[in-house]
């Protein structure tokens, strides 16, 4: 059917014995065809070669090429712009999505890997760095997610280009060199130093639970984890209490840095291969051969700051044990000045990641001067800098109030993150404070009238703009983007970076009605990594509201697209008009009736195909969405979608049969099995998809004809097996067939729920021209982009009702606020 669903070269690479041919797995089977650059691609010019050559020569596989081959490869690279927050690589992607190497020209990126369903930052890439290099050698799934921290530009080199011009023999040294390029702490080494390291490196394997090194033992080796996980343990001061787990380390991380220290000669911690997992594979360097690593010791120390290790451990375990930070919300008053309307408490780790985008741009030389190259920042440099500022400010307040000063405050950064400290912060977070009311009902703490509190609590509540500049966030609230029954969404601008976000505000007084939905939305959107899904960047709270910070998409949603594209047609010209519209009407059928027509089919397919890719990702990760409708599908300025509003989403992993019973969703889109509340799973999303396709093509609801204002009537039609959906005569047979297969009341007969799953859905004839692999990496677009007409939003109950502070929250709700 013209649809390529398999990864590149898979069929031809698998032999009769089921083993993938190494040559074909490396080349993807494209050696004989001369490749071309994408349409409108801006290829590298000769003036760009010095930058690209210096960056690419860090890789042994490239450094071994003759100069003419290097220049040829560079001339076939092209630029691609990446917006802040955009996912360039997604963990687990295959095929076209896993066939490119990238060189950062400007901007910076964070590298995330998922552990225990939590995205953990494991690396960071900036100008002159390379990532995705495994794609040049193998057709294998991506092993990490890469997200732009700021507006960035990358140079792209495809596997097809590389394999056409280069006949490279892959050996173990090249494979190890490519792995080392993913290790953040190794980045400053020059080509000769990396080659020397490769000569001295050894490989060791440790079984699950094996102790690799013990605290106090002589430090005789440096370790880099290639595969598996390690647990870091520290002996407690009280004898007999056992070891304390500090954190876990994963592929690409290191330990044993004590062996390259100028003075220390014993391990500070005990490290063991994590229990219950696979064996741990490590690259090791003996202390007598580790001289090349000694200049990196200071950088290693920054990576292993205690507060950073604890914070990562807390994020992996979904713990609320993180340092708070101030987030202030401002509005522009009638005179054009910024006025603070709310002071909120956020999480330092989240805020620092938003601050951690330097927009560094380099040209001409990809490497730093020798004196500067060892000063590269930590993977979480923003967090460390913000933490240092927080501790200095906290110390200054303590000194002014108690007459003391901690001169070593910047050295002992881990001491603050104790259980007693965090308990104090959490208990004090809701202490009584004298406040005044802002213009929109938000509480504004009066800096002159704070009740005496602990230093951390007062520091957050009374944070100055200087404090916010050092370790917090300042958000300028502008227009209202939309509202729901319990929430309002505003557009805000982060004052430091000028980057725009969508801020969702939920009154605390409504939490009793939707606590589980808020918790699900927070957990799910925090750890989703998909290019067609909205991303949550932070959650925070003040006295009266809970807040989420999401991607901002200025072009509206699919309902806005529908408003701009919908049109009326008349059938007065008889069958000829129906033929022009491609309908399945019979010859001789006549009429003089007006019909509302929605999107053009090609445009509707473009959007629906993206939604299918999103649902496939969500279901694979155990998430049922439960509220699919045009209003929840946002559109970016390039025409691609982002699925938003995960208030009804639920993770079914761990539930019996991966089923739930809650009746929720939007009337008109809910599936019959949802209405009956007898248990349902992912099937409800396929039903909603059928309704959405109908709405996009016709501009009408399938179960609201004849029109009714009573949602119960709509629900009754949905569950009534004898009620048939009316289809307009202009609808093409393939579209009508697909909608009917999705609106099967028996979910077992519904397409997508049958044995073929998503594959059967993608292969449906309505999608025959969709190039799924190209669409997944945003390289496929419709012939014409839509007209978007932003409709007037109707104010819902949450928008104009000032919420008063509820003084009588029960213990469960208070605990919920503490952990938010």
498: helix, strand or coil: coil
446 counts as catalytic: no
Beta strands in 136-273 (DSSP E): 145-148, 152-158, 202-206, 211-213, 221-227, 230-235, 243-249, 254-255, 270-273
Residues 6+ apart with CB under 8 A from 800: none
Report whether 634 contacts 557 (CB < 8 A).
yes
Query: What is the helix (H) or strand (E) element at residue 344, kind and residue range?
Result: strand 338-347
Q: Do the bridges between strand 324-332 and strand 338-347 make them parallel or antiparallel, or are there none, so unpaired?
A: antiparallel
Report whether 133 contacts 59 (CB < 8 A).
yes
Report whether 628 contacts 693 (CB < 8 A).
no
Catalytic annotation, pick one of 467, 627, 645, 685:
627
* Nearest residue to 321 via CA among 343, 347, 351: 347
DSSP states of 193-230 as a string? HHHHHHHH-EEEEE-TT-EEE-TTSB--EEEEEEES-E
Rounded to the nearest 10°, the torsion over CA 345, 348, 350, 354 is: 100
**Alpha-carbon separation of residue 784 from 639, 680, 802 (angstroms):** 10, 39, 44
- Distance separating alpha carbons of residues 463 and 465, to the nearest angstrom: 7
Report whether 472 contacts 385 (CB < 8 A).
no
Q: Give bridge partners of residue 273 from the DSSP assignment.
A: 230
Q: Environment class of residue 732 by beta-carbon count within 10 Å: exposed (0-12), middle (13-18) or buried (19+)? A: middle
Q: What are phi and psi of 602, to 5 degrees?
A: -65, -40
- Distance separating alpha carbons of residues 634 and 632, to the nearest angstrom: 6
- Distance separating alpha carbons of residues 293 and 287, to the nearest angstrom: 10
Local structure of residue 732 (DSSP, 8 states): -
- Distance separating alpha carbons of residues 676 and 659, to the nearest angstrom: 13
- Distance separating alpha carbons of residues 713 and 716, to the nearest angstrom: 5
Report whether 639 contacts 785 (CB < 8 A).
yes
Q: Is 732 annotated as a binding residue?
A: no
Annotated binding site for ATP: 504
Annotated binding site: 504
Catalytic sites, residue numbers: 627
């Amino acid at each position: 059917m013209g649809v390529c669903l398999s990864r590149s070269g898979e069929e031809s690479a698998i032999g009769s014995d089921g083993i993938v041919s190494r040559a074909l797995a490396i080349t993807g089977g494209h050696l004989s065809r001369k490749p071309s650059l994408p349409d409108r691609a801006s290829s590298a010019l000769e003036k760009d070669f010095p930058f690209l050559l210096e960056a690419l020569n860090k890789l042994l596989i490239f450094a071994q090429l003759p100069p003419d081959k290097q220049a040829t490869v560079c001339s076939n690279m092209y630029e691609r712009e990446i917006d802040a927050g955009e996912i360039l690589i997604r963990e687990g992607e295959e095929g076209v999505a896993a066939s490119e190497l990238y060189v950062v020209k400007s901007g910076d990126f964070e590298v995330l890997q998922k552990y225990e369903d939590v995205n953990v930052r494991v690396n960071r890439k900036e100008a002159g760095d390379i990532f995705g290099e495994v794609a040049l050698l193998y057709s294998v799934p991506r092993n990490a997610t890469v997200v732009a921290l700021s507006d960035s530009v990358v140079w792209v080199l495809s596997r097809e280009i590389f394999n056409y011009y280069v006949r490279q023999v892959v050996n173990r040294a090249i494979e190890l060199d490519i792995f080392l390029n993913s290790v953040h702490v190794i980045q400053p080494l020059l080509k000769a130093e990396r080659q020397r390291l490769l000569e001295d490196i050894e490989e060791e394997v440790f079984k699950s639970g094996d102790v690799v090194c013990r605290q106090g033992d002589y430090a005789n080796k440096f370790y880099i984890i290639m595969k598996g996980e390690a647990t870091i343990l520290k002996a407690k001061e009280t004898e007999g209490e056992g070891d304390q787990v500090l954190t876990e380390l994963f592929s690409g991380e290191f330990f044993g840095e004590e062996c390259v220290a100028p003075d220390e000669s014993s391990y500070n911690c005990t490290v063991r291969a994590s229990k219950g997992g696979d064996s741990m594979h490590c690259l090791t360097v003996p202390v007598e051969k580790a001289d090349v690593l000694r200049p990196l010791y200071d950088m290693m120390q920054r990576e292993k700051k205690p507060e950073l290790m604890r914070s990562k451990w807390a994020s992996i375990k979904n713990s609320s044990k993180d340092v708070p930070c101030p987030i202030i919300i401002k509005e522009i008053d009638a005179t054009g000045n910024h006025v603070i309307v709310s002071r909120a408490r956020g999480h330092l780790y989240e805020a620092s990641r938003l601050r951690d985008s330097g927009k560094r741009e380099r040209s001409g030389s990809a490497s730093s001067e020798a004196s500067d190259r060892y000063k590269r920042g930590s993977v979480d440099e923003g967090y460390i800098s913000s933490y240092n500022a927080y501790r200095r400010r906290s110390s200054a307040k303590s000194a002014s109030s108690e007459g003391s000063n901690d001169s070593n405050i910047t050295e002992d950064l881990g001491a603050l993150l104790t259980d007693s400290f965090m308990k104090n912060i959490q208990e004090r977070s809701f202490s009584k404070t004298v406040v005044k009311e802002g213009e929109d009902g938000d509480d504004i703490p009066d800096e002159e009238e704070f009740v005496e509190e602990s230093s951390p609590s007062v520091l957050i509540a009374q944070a100055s703009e200087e404090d916010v500049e050092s370790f917090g966030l300042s958000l300028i609230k502008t227009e209202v983007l939309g509202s729901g029954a319990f929430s309002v969404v505003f557009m805000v601008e982060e004052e430091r970076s000028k980057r725009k976000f969508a801020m969702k505000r939920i009154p605390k007084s409504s939490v009793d009605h939707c606590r589980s939905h808020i918790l699900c939305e927070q957990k799910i959107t925090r750890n989703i990594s998909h290019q067609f899904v909205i991303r949550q960047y932070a959650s925070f709270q003040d006295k009266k509201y809970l807040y989420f910070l999401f991607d901002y998409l200025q072009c509206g949603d699919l309902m806005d697209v529908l408003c701009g594209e919908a049109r009326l047609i008349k059938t007065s010209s008889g069958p000829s008009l129906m033929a022009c519209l491609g309908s399945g009407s019979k010859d001789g059928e006549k009429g003089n009736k007006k019909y509302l027509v929605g999107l053009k089919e090609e445009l509707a397919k473009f959007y629906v195909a993206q939604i299918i890719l999103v649902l496939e990702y969500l279901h694979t990760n155990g998430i049922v969405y439960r509220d699919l409708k045009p209003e929840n599908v946002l559109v970016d300025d390039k025409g691609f979608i982002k699925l938003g509003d995960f208030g009804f989403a639920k993770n079914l992993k761990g539930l019996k049969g991966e089923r739930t019973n809650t009746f929720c969703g939007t009337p008109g889109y809910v599936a019959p099995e949802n209405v009956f509340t007898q248990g349902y799973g992912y099937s409800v999303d396929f039903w909603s998809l059928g309704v959405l396709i109908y709405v996009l093509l016709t501009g009408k609801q399938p179960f609201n004809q004849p029109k009714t204002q009573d949602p119960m009537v709509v629900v009754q039609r949905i569950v009534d097996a004898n009620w048939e959906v009316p289809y307009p005569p202009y609808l093409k047979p393939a579209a009508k067939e697909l909608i009917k297969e999705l609106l099967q009341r028996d979910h077992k007969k519904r397409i997508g729920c049958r044995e073929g799953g998503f594959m059967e859905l993608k292969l449906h004839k309505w999608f025959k021209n969709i190039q799924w692999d190209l669409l997944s990496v945003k390289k496929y677009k419709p012939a014409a982009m839509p007209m978007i007409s932003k409709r007037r939003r109707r104010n819902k109950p949450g928008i104009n009702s000032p919420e008063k502070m509820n003084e009588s929250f029960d213990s469960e709700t208070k605990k919920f606020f503490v952990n938010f």
